[in-house]
Chain A
Amino acid sequence: MKVINWVLLALAAVSAALCVFFGVQYATFPQETYQQEAASLRQEADQVEADAQKLEADMEAYAQALETDIAQAGTEGAALAEQLKELEARRQELSGALAQAQERVELDQNAQENMLALREEYAGKIRQLEDMVKAGETDVKICYWTLDDGPSALTEQFLDAAKEMGIYLTFFTSREANESAANDDPEVERALLRREIAEGHAIGNHTYTHQYAKYGNVYGMGIDSFFEQLDRQDEWVYECTGVKPDLFRFPGGSAWAFARLPQGELEAGLQERGYQWIDWSCDIYDNGHANPDAYTEYTNAVYEIETMDIAMILSHDWNINTLEAMKMAVPKLQEDGYVFLPLFSQSWTIGNTVIVFS
């Protein structure tokens, strides 16, 4: 054989051996091992990532916990937390106090309007109670103790007694009806009217001069003169108290007035002026002529109204016996279930009160 062929044979043998070698190497390459290692590493990475996410969540929870309660941040945090608590409490306290002070200012700035609005609301509540009384829905009975012709020298004592007994009265006022001491000092009169309102009582109109005053018969001078007397009293009460009265009582009662002046014109004039008129249901006869003693007046009060669930007493706050009678009658009537309230024009008694003559 030629030399070239021997060389080719040798090279071919080497090549073939290499080909087999590399072929076996390729066929037996440990791919599975590499894949398993990569999978194991990825699995471990997933686990570590999950642990890291848990740590992240813990860190966020820690941050939120610090936001909610800084005391968790060690000694310094505890001190700041205490300071924050004190400051928050002080802020809330001041906010509450400021709200109250502002409410107080608002009430003060609108004191008259607020007072008049509350009177309306109060009158409505009393009417609600009256309706319950008439419907038999309560054991409470109502007594309106009215006093005519003041303010007088004794009015202050009536107010003191009412305050002590915790009751409310209604004063049908007439500036010139009484010639006793209180009338002579306008400041005293004004102070008495104001005290009547300031202590929760009611005020009505009983004309400026009253029927029997020195200026003459209030009905005998004609209807215009009568309304002039009413208007003067209306203005005087408003000027003194800031409250316009809307209840009127005819001097001597409606029977006396209607006997002397046209009822229709009288009632129309009153309505035009925003008034309701009222008589009474029980007279304790303290008006001058008979001049009963205190005990007689007391019995008149107690026994005349004993069948009434809503009663209205006529009396006069210039009579000292009346003061004593009231002090005896009120506790007795309270025992019998009566409460003593101020009279307003929303009352059921308007148009429903009949004078009981005993």
Chain B
Amino acid sequence: MKRGIVTVLLAALLAGSLTGALIFHGKTARLREENEAAVAQAQQLLDQAKAAYDALDPNSAQGAERRLEEQNAALADAQARIQELQGEIQQLEEALGQAESQAEALEAEGDTAYYIAAYNALQEGMAKVEGYIEGN
């Protein structure tokens, strides 16, 4: 009977030790896993930040390429603006030619030239009177 009790106690001790060992091993593994994951995540953030930096750093190939792209886009915009201006200038020149021709044709008519001369003379006279009013 005595040997039976010892056997049971030893078996219980074995079971308890094994269980404890397993529990502690599992907990340690989980703890390591969590902490290593946190470090890995922080490293990933760092890597992403570095990648973003490299993409913009003018001293890096990517950054230089992006800068060049911006420059080329601006040059293309300037070219487009030049073409737009050239078009506008052409239209303005045509409109100006038409307006001047129209004015010349009107002024070639005797009555118009006469009324314009009268208008200019009145303007001149009025300027003198305004001068008298202002004390000049």
Q: Which A residues have a C-beta under 8 Å from some C-beta of B?
A: 1-2, 4-5, 8-9, 11-12, 15-16, 18-19, 21-23, 25-26, 29, 31, 34-35, 37-42, 44-46, 48-49, 51-52, 55-56, 58-59, 62-63, 66-67, 70, 73-74, 76-77, 80-81, 83-84, 87-88, 90-91, 94-95, 97-98, 101-102, 104-105, 107-109, 111-112, 114-115, 118-119, 121-122, 125-126, 128-129, 132, 138, 140, 168, 194, 197-200, 242, 339, 341-342
Contacts and interface: CB of A to CB of B under 8 A. Distances in A.
Interface in B70-113: 70-71, 73-75, 77-79, 81-82, 85-86, 88-89, 92-93, 95-96, 99-100, 102-103, 106-107, 111-112
Contacts of A16: 13, 17
A31 B106 CA distance: 97
Nearest to B102: A105
Q: What 9 pairs across the A-B complex have the smallest Cβ distances? A: A15-B17, A22-B24, A34-B35, A200-B121, A41-B42, A111-B115, A66-B74, A8-B10, A101-B99
B28 A26 contact: yes
Contacts of A15: 13-14, 17-18, 20-21
B7 A5 contact: yes
A29 B32 contact: yes
Contacts of A199: 117, 121
A44 B47 CA distance: 10
Given A26-B24, A62-B70, A52 B42 contact: no
A186 B131 CA distance: 38
B125 A48 contact: no
Most buried by B among A11, A40, A198: A198
Contacts of A81: 78
A143 B116 CA distance: 27
Contacts of B116: 107-108, 111, 115
A305 B17 CA distance: 141
By DSSP majority rule, is chain A's interface helix, strand, loop, or mixed?
helix
Interface in B10-44: 10-11, 13-14, 17-18, 20-21, 23-25, 27-28, 31-32, 35-36, 38-39, 41-43
Contact of A125 (B46, B81, B118, B126): B126
Contact of B31 (A31, A90, A94): A31
Contacts of B46: 41-42, 44-45, 48
Contacts of A48: 46, 49-50, 52-53
Nearest to B48: A45
Given A12-B14, A87-B89, A41 B43 contact: yes
B41 A38 contact: yes
B42 to A, nearest CB: 4
A64 to B, nearest CB: 10
Interface residues of B, number: 82
B10 A2 contact: no
Given A12-B13, A83-B82, A112-B111, A38 B118 contact: no
B38 A91 contact: no
A34 B99 contact: no
A231 to B, nearest CB: 23
A90 B92 CA distance: 10
Most buried by B among A2, A87, A114, A168: A87
B135 to A, nearest CB: 7
Contacts of B11: 8
Contact of A91 (B35, B85, B117, B118): B85
A101 B96 contact: yes
Contacts of A51: 53
A34 B133 contact: no
A66 B39 contact: no
Given A112-B115, A168-B125, A200-B124, A80 B17 contact: no
A59 B73 CA distance: 13
B17 A37 contact: no
A55 B50 CA distance: 12
A291 to B, nearest CB: 33
6 contacts: A29-B31, A88-B85, A109-B106, A122-B129, A199-B117, A341-B129
